[in-house]
Structure 1
């Protein structure tokens, strides 16, 4: 291997760019979408309910509601939980902004609890410290695919009469103490974005075992409008009649998307198995490298692995994270960073949030890089990532 870094004019490890995530679409997926395009329904048809039933069955939940994207799923769950202006919702800062934005959509106040420095998931002890009389819900995030320790979270919820909305955008297929994520919390939301475990292009799902939440979710995704005669205030009109009972949104998903989702779901076990194989290869390659911390996995979590994140003890390399990131990008490795703490964003700063709220989260952010991980990666792709990381680290260590 050429030891001169590509960023310094050397030959990159790869000739072509490898993204950090990517969908895997095969002929069956394409045929499923084509069949729907040739059918009677493009949207609000029977394929949506079929997809919802299959998702609910997969995670062993009573109900599933599919919506237009993962953010819509979180927003709908906040509505169903009755979150309103002035309420507080506790979540983690190490997440995509939607995990907190969904509270703002309901005019509630996001409260950030710090993370466990080992698992990178929300710290249950800090959650309890942040609970006040205004707290309405907890939104724990299954970061990278590793499930939060749900039992203590649910005990807190019971103690303080809170709703747990589990953001499992990263965790479709993950198991918590032998149970699939999606059947445990009061509501669980999933993302179906192309880099996730299965995709509908864009899309999201909420699962729950609570019929009241289920009915509210259905209402919310269609403008708050219903034709259900059991819910109508004026029951004397004809079958054409409908009523708006709440201020909902147009968060509908289409039959086209759900046809793709059904086809993708048939291969989810294959997708997860391959993700886990790649993670094992990464762990074997990086575990013994001084200054590199591989992801810790709690014994209660069997992760489906959405993201693979390395943490660097930067004092052992005498470079900052940006230099490592730029060097890996130059080797044509599509590394990323997940995530910028939510309250670092200018919008949140203008709302009054200040740096220093969650020291563990802030320290982690400065030291992490996400490596490519998706099921259609070839073994050569995995080797390229490993070789590029070792090449870059060897160089920066050797120049000390």
Structure 2
């Protein structure tokens, strides 16, 4: 029996050396290395600003606040995501309003958004699930028509593109994750990109208690009292984390090419088996964050694959069937039937650059037996 992990990161000796340099420096927290990463990340995404934070959850929360979302406002989003998406809306005091998903992709069904808009609706939060972008041109038209903000949850989709549009290009902000299993990782971490100067200025303050000077500027600049302009949070990232990210960002496209090769291997093999999988939409460059199959008796299949040493995951069960949301909003399983069925059938196979051909063959062989 082989042992195949669900995920292995790509941190290499260059990344470790960069972290070592930070550990030998004066500043371990948010300082020059973080600024360097923010500049390079913004450049990669053709964005004006990048604000690095402690997680994608923090990024979503601060983005909502910076865009003026407040208590009682409604934000339209998807029930097919990690709970952080809708939790962040609750953290901001707003109300998540779910609409169902596209059966083919798992992404929010943009044709259902307008029917969910009320006088309380202030924003749309699409999720680019598994690395495949939503139809942002269609969502942008709806947002413009109803004067709504767009917060893109791009936790899975740094490298994504659709219909010639990059992640964050049409949204007011885009939010990213550098969690342990993401395409680039610092263990924990996140970022916000925006082209709005005023929003960026506010985000920089909100991530650090609302004060107008970070630790490095207080140390290196000529003495001046700092002030607290707004009530903020402790959501900044450290230079240690940023040092891990810089090198991975430089290699992001090469590693995407490798994951694309693995995904194509899966597709050919699964076509022969007659197993359904999530396909990349037309005119889309996928970030290939997760490879998803849809299968009956999913939980039994998970158990069998794990018993044969294959790491798999469920991404995700529909949010509206989770106890907190059912109890808080009186949701029924049938409220979003496509999301419910989708969440009952999806299974994530290993997808990372260190997978070898023999391991891929072993995974497919076990699926065939099951």
What's 2:300 paired with?
323
Report how far residue 66 of structure 1 moved: 0.2
2:282 paired with 1:299: yes
Match of 1:19 in 2: 5
Aligned residue in 2 for 1:143: 129
Aligned partners of 2:81 and 2:316 also within 8 Å: yes
- 1:367 maps to 2:353: no
Q: 2: distance between equivalents of 1:294 and 1:59?
A: 28
Give the deviation of 1:184 after TM superposition: 3.0
Distance (whole Å) between structure 2 residues aligned to residue 19 and residue 149 of structure 1: 33
Match of 1:188 among 174, 195, 203: 174
> In structure 1, how many angstroms separate the alpha carbons of the residues matched to 2:147 and 2:68?
13
Q: What is the aligned partner in structure 2 of residue 6 from structure 1? A: none
SS in 2 for 1:104: helix
Distance 1:163 1:118 in 2: 26
Task: Name 1:169's counterpart in structure 2.
Answer: 155
1:161, distance to aligned residue in structure 2 (A):
0.7
Show structure 1 runs of 4+ deviating over 6 A: none
Determine if contact 1:195/1:374 at 8 Å carries over to the other structure. Answer: no
SS of 1:44's partner is coil
Tell me the CA shift for residue 154 of structure 1: 0.6
Match of residue 368 from structure 2: 390
Tell me what 2:263 maps to.
279
Specify which of 120, 129, 134 is matched with residue 115 of structure 2. Answer: 129
Query: Conserved in 1, the CA contact under 8 Å of 2:318 and 2:339?
Result: yes
**Where does residue 376 of structure 1 map in the other structure?**
354
What is the alpha-carbon distance in structure 2 between the residues aligned to residue 112 and residue 262 of structure 1? Answer: 36
Q: Is the 8 A contact 1:183 1:207 kept in 2?
A: no
Equivalent in 336, 340, 362 of residue 358 of structure 1: 336
Shift of 1:366: 1.5
Other structure's SS at 2:75 match: strand
Larger gyration radius, structure 1 or structure 2: 1
Whether contact under 8 Å (2:290, 2:349) holds in the other structure is yes
Which residue of the other structure, out of 26, 38, 42, is the alignment partner of 1:56? 42
- The Cα of 1:239 is off from its aligned counterpart by 4.0
Indicate whether 1:334 and 2:317 are aligned. Answer: no
The whole-number CA distance in structure 1 between the counterparts of 2:359 and 2:134 is 30
Q: Which runs of 5+ in 1 are unaligned?
A: 1-11, 229-237, 315-319, 393-400
Q: 2:200 corresponds to which residue?
A: 214
Deviations 1:319-352 (A, max 9, x none): x222111111111111111101112221112212
Deviation at 1:119, TM superposition (A): 1.6
Deviation at 1:55, TM superposition (A): 0.2
Report the alpha carbon displacement of residue 90 of structure 1 after superposing the two structures with TM: 0.8
Taking the aligned partners of 2:226 and 2:364, their CA distance within structure 1 comes to: 58
User: What is the CA-CA distance between 1:178 and the residue it aligns to?
Assistant: 3.0
Q: Classify the secondary structure of the residue corresponding to 2:15.
A: helix
Give TM-score scaled by structure 1 length.
0.88
Structure 2 gap segments, 5+ residues each: 215-221
Deviation at 1:286, TM superposition (A): 0.2
The aligned length equals 362
8 Å contact from structure 2 (residues 79, 339) kept in 1: yes
TM-score w.r.t. the length of structure 2 is 0.95
